[in-house]
Amino acid sequence: MGKVLFKGAEAIAEAAIRSGCKFFFGYPITPQTEVAEYMAKRLPQVGGVYLQAESEVSAINMVFGAAATGARVMTSSSSPGVSLKQEGISYIAGAELPCVVVNIMRGGPGLGCIQAAQSDYFQAVKGGGHGDYKNIVLAPSTVQEAVDLVSLAFDLADKYRNPVMILGDAVLAQIMEPIELPEEKKELPEKPWAITGCSNREQNIITSSYPVPEDLEAVNERLNAKYKQIIKEEQRWEEDGVDDAELVFVAYGTSARIAKDAVETLRNKGKKVGLIRPITLWPFPKKAFKNRMAGKKILVVEMSKGQMVEDVEIAVKGQGEIYFYGRTGGIVPYVEEVLEVAEAILNNENVKKWGEDDEN
Amino acid sequence: MKTKEYIRPKSLKPTQTHYCPGCTHGIIHRILAEVLDEMNLREKAVAVIGVGCSCFAERYFNFDCIDVAHGRAPAVATGVKRANPNLVTITYQGDGDMTAIGSAEALHAAIRGEKITSIMINNAIYGMTGGQMSPTTLIGQKTSTSPYGKKAEEAGYPVRFVETLALQEGVAYAARTAVNNIGNILKTKAAIKKALQAQIDGKGYSIVEILSTCPTNWGVSPKEALKWIEEKMIPVFPLGEFKEI
């Protein structure tokens, strides 16, 4: 099959169906509604179920129920809606159920705006809900990558029995790009833990309730061991020209598309610049930075007031100088803006380092 | 005289429960377990258990169970049923769980005619958190958050939830029963049977609200608690079948 032109949101939905997702529970919210609309049209054609819940809270709990039966299931939302889903995501992580949650970020806080932003990074990678838990967070920067990562998301969710979040933004959801769709997945993993009726076996219980502190601590230890394994095995990133770069851009998603353009322009001018593009935001690809940043300048570009930059800071461990450029409010930075900052840094002009103000 | 041998239902585990003396949760667990055995449903059943005193019910029921967040059981049950329509899906919730924090989930499961069965235990109080006011708390009833007695002008009236659900077209069966005497216990059992049959027949959403005791938080003896259901609760929450299709 050749390339087809697809809108990001619809491509995510089609990729999910081809990954064996037959159940979708959602609620309309801009700019992700096309995921739901596509599912409403397509799922009945493939023997699946689209259900429009009465709220985001209900939608994620319907995901919980379907996941408990062993089905591949997805929900999609945008920032304020994802906030409402966080209660359910914590329960799903606690009960160790696999599911995929798509967050097409818009500007916040509060009602904010419907344009693209990256200000839900903390919520996505640091928890969002209550308790000691982690979501695997995947951040595509093109429609093709979104399609590929949706397939990966379902596999990782099943492998680790853990929620996986696709973190995109309005640009990714609304843009149209030519893509190659994956083949339909026929074989899905066995799930002996699922709620299927207790014939020929003992009772199965899905729970996140452990009233005895020692029991809960043991569960948290077990979850933590799982998270450590994910950190070890699942760090993903794309990089280009890092080793001999004087200035390394770090950006994900839409910001990374801008950073890539900036890298190309600067290289054409003979500058030594590179790019690290995290694909997994959790686990954060610390390996990409380990013992490689000494003497380098690092420019983190985000559509937020600085969220991922804190993880970059942890990964860089003081080896290099960190700079930050961010726009918010649903404004996607122009390449020219980023170039201006990058050139000022390369020319040793007096550009403030990340956190420099805080230390005064 | 005919005698009947006491046999523990297969759907119930041979274990002690944590419920307070005089609490009727145990009776309701037993009724549900008997019904599942008699209808041969144990191996297809799943209980979606809400928050409240019954939130450890998966330790007493001997069939598949899911513990869920406060109020969300009808949404979780919806996900279960839509993904696996063969499962006989039952939510087990208290009055606070279902009529306060989970009112939207319950109402919309009913509106959709979701083929699930809800069992709502109404003891007019939040039991597990220690006796706070619930939407079903009676006018004048003293609780830890209505220390001067519940006043309608401040806290509203006791919610007649099952009647509200019965108005919805998606509801196939809606009844309110009590477990304060043998006659009402038998009626409760019959109602649960009908509710599950409505689900199996694919007719729509079914609910049985059961008036239940909370001697600890009502501050009365177990015996007085049964009388309290009769004298105080039933006049406000009339028993009967409100819908049957």
Residue B47 sits at the chain A interface (C-beta within 8 Å): no
Do A64 and B82 count as a contact with CB atoms less than 8 A apart? Answer: no
Instruction: Look at B34-38, B39-43, B51-55 and tell me which has the smallest mean pLDDT.
Output: B51-55
Residue A87 sits at the chain B interface (C-beta within 8 Å): yes
Per-residue pLDDT at B185: 98
Per-residue pLDDT at B223: 97
- Among A55, A66, A203, the residue with its CB nearest the CB of B65 is A203
Domains, chain A, with CATH or none: 4-182+209-234 (3.40.50.970), 238-347 (3.40.50.920)
**How do residues A80-119 score in pLDDT, each as one tens digit?**
999 999 999 999 999 999 999 999 999 999 999 999 999 9
CA-CA distance, A325 to A317, in Å (whole number)? 20
With a cut of 70, say whether residue A263 has pLDDT above it.
yes
Give residue A359's pLDDT band: very low, low, confident or very high (50, 70, 90): low
**How do residues B168-224 score in pLDDT, each as one tens digit?**
999 999 999 999 999 999 999 999 999 999 999 999 999 999 999 999 999 999 999
Tokens linked to A67: 């996941």
Domains, chain B, with CATH or none: 24-244 (3.40.50.970)
Could you count the other beta carbons within 10 Å of the beta carbon of residue B2? 3
Suggest the residue from B76, B101, B128 to mutate for an interface test with chain A (most A CBs closer than 10 A): B76
With a cut of 80, say whether residue B1 has pLDDT above it.
no
What proportions of chain B, in percent to the nearest 5, are helix, strand and coil? 40, 20, 40
| Beta carbons of B120 and B209 less than 8 angstroms apart | yes
Query: What mean pLDDT, rounded, does chain A reach?
Result: 97
Please state the pTM of the whole predicted model: 0.97
With a cut of 90, say whether residue A358 has pLDDT above it.
no
Query: Which residue bears the tokens 């049957």?
Result: B244
Per-residue pLDDT at A2: 87
With a cut of 70, say whether residue A162 has pLDDT above it.
yes
* Residues in chain A within 8 Å Cβ distance of B76: 61-62, 64-65, 68
Cα of A154 vs its chain's centroid, Å: 13
Residue A30 sits at the chain B interface (C-beta within 8 Å): no
- Among A51, A55, A68, the residue with its CB nearest the CB of B80 is A68
Interface pTM, i.e. ipTM: 0.97
With a cut of 80, say whether residue A1 has pLDDT above it.
no
Peptide bond into A31 cis (omega under 30): yes
What is the mean predicted confidence (pLDDT) over A247-264? 98
- CA-based nearest residue to A284, from A273, A296, A300, A297: A300
**How do residues B112-138 score in pLDDT, each as one tens digit?**
999 999 999 999 999 999 999 999 999
Residue A198 sits at the chain B interface (C-beta within 8 Å): yes
Residue B72 sits at the chain A interface (C-beta within 8 Å): yes
With a cut of 90, say whether residue B243 has pLDDT above it.
yes
Residue B77 sits at the chain A interface (C-beta within 8 Å): yes
Please enumerate in sequence order all residues whose Cβ is within 8 A of that of A270, keeping only pairs 6 or more positions apart, or say none: none
Give residue A360's pLDDT band: very low, low, confident or very high (50, 70, 90): low
Do A57 and B84 count as a contact with CB atoms less than 8 A apart? Answer: no
CA-CA distance, B161 to A168, in Å (whole number)? 41
Peptide bond into A333 cis (omega under 30): no
Do B64 and A199 count as a contact with CB atoms less than 8 A apart? Answer: no
DSSP secondary structure of A229-240: HHHHH---EEEE
